Amino acid sequence: MNWVRQIAGVLLLLAMAGGPLLAPSAAEAADRFIAHPDGWQTYVNDRFGMRFDYPGGIFAAAPPPENGDGRTFTSGDATLQIFAFHNTGDEDAGSLKARLIGSQGYENVTYSPSGGSWLVLSGFRGDDIFYEKYLFAGGVISAFGMEFPAARKPYYAPIVERIEDSFRAP
Q: What is the DSSP letter of 88?
A: T
Alpha-carbon span 169 to 49, nearest angstrom: 6
Q: Provide φ and ψ at 121, rounded to 5°.
A: -125, 130
Alpha-carbon span 137 to 123, nearest angstrom: 25
Q: What angle do CA 111, 113, 115 make, to 5 degrees?
A: 165
pTM attached to this predicted model: 0.83
Per the structure, the count of domains in the chain is 1
Three-state DSSP state, 8: helix
Alpha-carbon span 4 to 92, nearest angstrom: 22
Alpha-carbon span 138 to 169, nearest angstrom: 10
Alpha-carbon span 97 to 56, nearest angstrom: 31
pLDDT at site 8: 45
Q: Provide φ and ψ at 7, rounded to 5°.
A: -65, -40
CATH number of residue 134's parent domain = 3.40.1000.10
Q: Which amino acid is at 125?
A: R
Domain region containing 105 = 2-166
Q: Across the 170 residues of the chain, what is the mean pLDDT of every consecutive 10-residue run?
A: 48 42 48 96 96 97 92 97 96 96 97 97 98 97 98 98 96
C-beta of residue 91 within 8 angstroms of C-beta of residue 107: no
Q: Report DSSP letters for 36-74, one per residue.
A: -TTSEEEEEETTTTEEEEEETTT-EEPPPPTT-SEEEEE
pLDDT at site 140: 96
pLDDT at site 3: 45
Q: Which residues pair with 34 in a beta bridge?
A: 42
